[in-house]
Amino acid sequence: MDRAPEPTWSWSPGDELATGLLAWALLGDGRRCETWLAWDLGRWCPVAVKLPRPGQGARAVSGLAAEAQVAAAVAHPGIRRLLDDRLDQPRPHLVFEYVEGPTLDDALAGEGPFHPVDVLLVGMQLAAALGHLHGRGLAHLDLKPGNVVLRDGRPVLIDLGLARPVGEAPAGGHRRGSPPWMAPEQVRRRPASPGMDLFALGAVLFELATGTQAFDPAGTGPPARRWPQLAGPAPRARARSPEIPAAVDRAVAALLAPDPADRPAAAGQALSLLSGAMPADAAEEDRLWPAWATRRLERWRASTMERPPQVPRPA
């Protein structure tokens, strides 16, 4: 039986959705929360406002509180910033910076598969953002093309709603994530780990390179159909698109290894792997850092492999 659609806010442009915030357009909606583009009268600029859907109660607010705690713990150009935590308001909400640009989903739909160099550049920048997140004891757990916006061509993670401390087991044993990009151990409800994000990174890069998903789950049926990542390795990217360079194909396959022990051990290692796949004749402007910074990469890579600190839990 089909579920009745969840109620949604129906503001018109200019309606006040909260004090000093005027609704502009719906940006996205989830099971419990919506995100609206709004005009911030105090900052006089557009912002993204996340708030519970109509009728949602304490559980939605608790989820926003957890997201606010995660967002407050990170500060990286590749991760959307939290501007205000207004959970004590009559209509609780969070105010984020508005990251303007197409999502990777939009870019794929509009332009098709990315050039291999662009696949690597997106992957390296996402690996750097994940390294920052992991270094603060957090796993994202929902990296997918729809959660990455290209701001002036540079990827920015925009949703920390499922992020959890590394080592934390799923609440109530529930499986949480977006099926086509979930690591096998995430499907099996294992505690949160950086390796889950690195697998998702591989699935995103596979999609950028080929224009197709590495895993295409069926809605019903046996687990092997609903969760094809449990049935064995992903196909090779070059099997879908033979023009993909072998080095790019190997890097993506390493990130998509079914056993987390066979993947890069940390985001810094993933960044190094992707950097090593860059064609030797790549243009200087395609490189993310100056040549003299390369000798520092191993030090950064080593720092991301250290045991991350645990983020303090709410009292």
Distance CA(43)–CA(26), nearest Å, equals 20
Cα→Cα distances 106→109, 157, 208, Å: 5, 15, 11
Residue of 142, 159, 197, 249 with catalytic role? 142
CB 118 within 8 A of CB 76: no
Distance CA(82)–CA(122), nearest Å, equals 23
Distance CA(150)–CA(103), nearest Å, equals 6
CB 21 within 8 A of CB 49: yes
Reply yes or no on whether 142 is catalytic.
Answer: yes
Q: Is 167 left (phi over 0), alpha (psi -120 to 50) or beta?
A: left
Q: State the first-to-last Cα distance of the chain, in angstroms, to the nearest integer.
A: 41
Distance CA(220)–CA(17), nearest Å, equals 38
How many CA atoms within 13 Å lie on the side-chain side of 220? 0
Catalytic center residues: 142
